[in-house]
Structure 1
Amino acid sequence: MEQTRRRIGTWPRATAALPLVLAFSVSAVRPAMASDGALEREQLAAFARQIELADRLANHLADQAASTASPEHARYHFDYARLRADLKRIRAGVQDYLVPQRAQPRDPVPLTGDYVRRDERQEQSP
């Protein structure tokens, strides 16, 4: 009987706290909505770091290809210079968005996108 009284005695306190819990949970939703921009900025900053890593890897691979590849055997070569130029433009666009200097103009110049470079010496020789 004593346990029943304790349970019944705590029930009114729990129902009194229910509106407070609901009010707190509803107010916690608003900052989550407002932080969508912060989440996007955080993800874009992570993307910029990944682009930086990709640029370093492309630089390393270009150095490695230049030192080890024999140009007479390969007809096609990967154009690391174009890739690095495109990565640089993408990184600059993300940085300009994250830290805008003024109103953001659009950059109408498209990316190159073609990273295969043909060895013209191989095509000319019979």
Structure 2
Amino acid sequence: MHPARSPWVVTFFLLAVSGVAGADTPVQRQDLVAAQRQLEAVERLVERTSASATVVPGERYHFDYPRLLADLARVRVGIEHFLSPARAQPRESTELSDHYRIEPKPAPRPEDKS
């Protein structure tokens, strides 16, 4: 898959998972187990894509794969906690970062000698 398409896969996955969040049935459990498998596949895809991605010197932006992988891990852990709760009360969730664009820091300019 082309590296530029991988965010679309993640978006599709997150939309699919959000669609099962409203139900509280055995079907929901099956759907969430299937979502876990899909999430693992997306994580492998993102890892593979990040390994082959190159940062071009002087490029203004590049995709922040480590941050995306951290957010995917949070989603996976949330599903795991739902499927095997350690306690009766739901935990407070952390927000996803939603900022995957990294801008390089400007190169230091030589000081003007006047």
Tell me the TM-score normalised to structure 2 length. Answer: 0.67
Choose the corresponding residue for 2:87, options 102, 111, 124.
102
- Per the alignment, residue 118 of structure 1 pairs with 103
The alignment status of 1:47 with 2:32, answered yes or no, reads no
Matches within 5 A, 1:61-100: 61-65=49-53, 69-100=54-85
Q: CA deviation at 1:70?
A: 4.4
More helix by share: 1
CA displacement at 1:76 relative to structure 2: 0.6
| TM-superposition CA deviations, 1:57-108 (whole Å, max 9, x none) | 111011111xxx2431421110000000000000000011011122243224
Gaps of 5+ in 2: 1-23, 110-114
Q: Whole-Å Cα distance in 2 between the matches of residues 51 and 76 of structure 1?
A: 26
Corresponding position of 1:59:
47
The structure with the larger Rg is: 1
Which residue of structure 2 aligns with residue 15 of structure 1? none
In the alignment of these two chains, the number of paired residues is: 86
Q: If the length of structure 1 is used for normalisation, what is the TM-score? A: 0.61
Of all paired residues, the percent bearing the same amino acid is: 38
| Runs of 4+ deviating beyond 4 Å | none
- SS of the aligned residue for 1:124 comes to coil
Q: Is the 8 A contact 2:46 2:65 kept in 1?
A: yes
**Unaligned ranges ≥5, structure 1:** 1-35
1:54 CA drift (Å): 0.8
